[in-house]
A and B are shown apart, each in its own frame.
Chain A
Amino acid sequence: MVPSLARRARVRWDAARDCHVLLYPEGVLVLTPEAAEVIERVDGVRTLEAIVDALADEHPEAPREVIDRDVRELIERLAARGFVRSEAP
């Protein structure tokens, strides 16, 4: 599965509030640093597994299955609100 950011959503750094935000019509989602790390890798090219692999490499202290669960959960939540689309590779 290859997740990509929907056109309605835009992710950027918010210098005034010192956090990443996801902007969408009439709304702002404040991203935790962990969520931002995931979304930065959602580029419509990498598969979900590749995103998990990359994060696991960068966080050897965290068990891979925990990262895997967290990433899937986040992507599902964002997909339910129409911010992320997933396509089969």
Chain B
Amino acid sequence: MTAAPPMALLAELTYRCPLRCGYCSNPTDWRGYARELDAQNWRRVVREAAHLGVLHLHLSGGEPLLRDDLEDIAREGRDAGLYVNVITSGFGATRARIEGLAEAGVDHVQVSLQDVDGERGDRVAGVRAHDHKLAVARMVRDAGMELSINVVLHRGNLARTGEVIALAASLGAQRLELANTQYHGSALVNRAALMPARAQLDEALAVARAAQRDLAGRMDVIYVVPDWFADAPRPCMDGWGRRFMTVIPDGTALPCPGAHGLPGFAFDNVQARSLDDIWHRGADFERFRGTAWMPEPCASCDRREVDYGGCRCQAFALTGDAAATDPACAKSPYHTLIRDEREGPRDEPAVLHRIDTSRGRR
């Protein structure tokens, strides 16, 4: 059976980042994948993606602004008809740089915020960044591009969900992504410090729902319910090898940005095979595609084509078996792992372990 073409390509141009957020989902051993594809290769990948049927190009990282060829790669995407999104911390961006992105054809810029004020935000980021991020968000609007504000929610900032929404609206964002922490990479290491109490989540959800009603037509408020508290897995990447393709800095092509941590896989590199070949014939893209690979209780579950068995990386991280049912599912035999942690005591004060991502190879 021929797989439908992917809708989106996530191009993680670099794992380097001036910020050191304790919930970063990038691999904690990021240096092992840090040799970066050059612009010529990225531009070829972008063209191949468009040919394959990709419609959205997401230029991300790490911090994509650290690549001075970001504009060239973006322009290649726009010329190929792709909707070009840049996902950035905004750190170090000048007005000229932002205008350059617009000129290169970038449609949409997503700027991350860590909290609602400099003191709190900078404490999470590990660098002084917050005030400049606000300025960058305004520059994005001034340059005529679509603006999203992305905020990762966790125990330390959930109480300010309402303030986050007001701040994003005041910046002129058309879209606000409130994403509860997913426990991958650094976030898995730091989960004891990040995991909220259920009451906090309930309150934040109510605030977000109210804002969705009040701001309808002005700002889209996306609130991602955390799978650890939902008793249902999230349909990770909308299914393995179904809609999304990721290429990480060293050119490895993945069904999801976390999959390089899975053992027993030999993911293909875009320097050796075409994107089309990898998507349609790569063994690792086939491996969890569809429903045939599923164990019980997924195989006979009536939600198997709703959540696609959940997240393979989370299944592996918690059970040691990438093919297991995601423990976030209440039907998983490993669900107690998640239940015990989310109901468990919370340490005070929260201590975040940080990965230094500021120095690396090009």
Chain A residues at the B interface, C-beta cutoff of 8 Å: 7-8, 10, 12, 14-17, 21, 23-26, 28, 80, 82
Shortest C-beta distance, B59 to chain A (Å), equals 14
B290 interfacial contact with A, CB 8 Å: no
Complex formed: what's the CA distance from A14 to B52 in Å?
A: 11
Picked from B53, B144, B174, B217, the residue with its CB within 8 Å of the CB of A14 is B53
CB <8 Å contact, A25 and B53: no
Q: A8-B108, A25-B146 are in contact. Are A17 and B53 (CB under 8 A)?
A: yes
Query: Which residues of A are found within 8 Å of B107, using beta-carbon distances?
Result: 8, 10, 23, 25
CB <8 Å contact, A8 and B5: no
Give 8 new A-B contacts, CB below 8 A, not counting A17-B53, A23-B83, A26-B108. A8-B107, A23-B55, A24-B83, A25-B107, A25-B146, A25-B148, A25-B174, A26-B148
Chain B residues at the A interface, C-beta cutoff of 8 Å: 5, 7, 52-53, 55-56, 81, 83, 85, 107-108, 144, 146, 148, 174-175, 217
CB <8 Å contact, B217 and A7: no
Picked from A7, A16, A17, A80, the residue with its CB within 8 Å of the CB of B146 is A7
Shortest C-beta distance, B177 to chain A (Å), equals 8
Q: A8-B108, A10-B107, A80-B217 are in contact. Are A25 and B52 (CB under 8 A)?
A: no
Residue of A nearest to B177 (CB): A26
Picked from B52, B56, B144, the residue with its CB within 8 Å of the CB of A7 is B144
Q: A8-B108, A80-B217, A82-B174 are in contact. Are A25 and B144 (CB under 8 A)?
A: no
Query: Which residues of B are found within 8 Å of A7, using beta-carbon distances?
Result: 144, 146
Query: Which residues of B are found within 8 Å of A28, using beta-carbon distances?
Result: 7, 55-56
Complex formed: what's the CA distance from A80 to B217 in Å?
A: 6
CB <8 Å contact, A21 and B144: no
Query: Which residues of B are found within 8 Å of A23, using beta-carbon distances?
Result: 55-56, 83, 107
Picked from A14, A25, A80, the residue with its CB within 8 Å of the CB of B55 is A14
Subset of 14 A-B contacts with CB under 8 Å: A7-B144, A10-B107, A15-B53, A16-B5, A16-B52, A17-B5, A21-B55, A23-B56, A25-B83, A25-B175, A26-B85, A26-B148, A28-B56, A80-B217
Residue of A nearest to B50 (CB): A16
CB <8 Å contact, A12 and B81: yes
Residue of A nearest to B7 (CB): A28
Q: A14-B55, A16-B5, A82-B174 are in contact. Are A25 and B85 (CB under 8 A)?
A: yes
Shortest C-beta distance, A25 to chain B (Å), equals 4
CB <8 Å contact, B108 and A25: yes
Shortest C-beta distance, B337 to chain A (Å), equals 31
Residue of A nearest to B175 (CB): A25
Query: Which residues of B are found within 8 Å of A26, using beta-carbon distances?
Result: 56, 85, 108, 148, 175
Query: Which residues of B are found within 8 Å of A10, using beta-carbon distances?
Result: 83, 107
Query: Which residues of B are found within 8 Å of A24, using beta-carbon distances?
Result: 83
Complex formed: what's the CA distance from A37 to B53 in Å?
A: 22
Complex formed: what's the CA distance from A24 to B220 in Å?
A: 12
Complex formed: what's the CA distance from A6 to B7 in Å?
A: 22
Query: Which residues of A are found within 8 Å of B175, using beta-carbon distances?
Result: 25-26
Complex formed: what's the CA distance from A17 to B53 in Å?
A: 8
Query: Which residues of B are found within 8 Å of A15, using beta-carbon distances?
Result: 53
Query: Which residues of A are found within 8 Å of B81, using beta-carbon distances?
Result: 12
Q: Which of A24, A25, A82 has the most CB of B within 10 A?
A: A25
Complex formed: what's the CA distance from A25 to B146 in Å?
A: 8
CB <8 Å contact, B56 and A16: no
Shortest C-beta distance, A41 to chain B (Å), equals 20
Residue of B nearest to A28 (CB): B55
Shortest C-beta distance, A81 to chain B (Å), equals 8
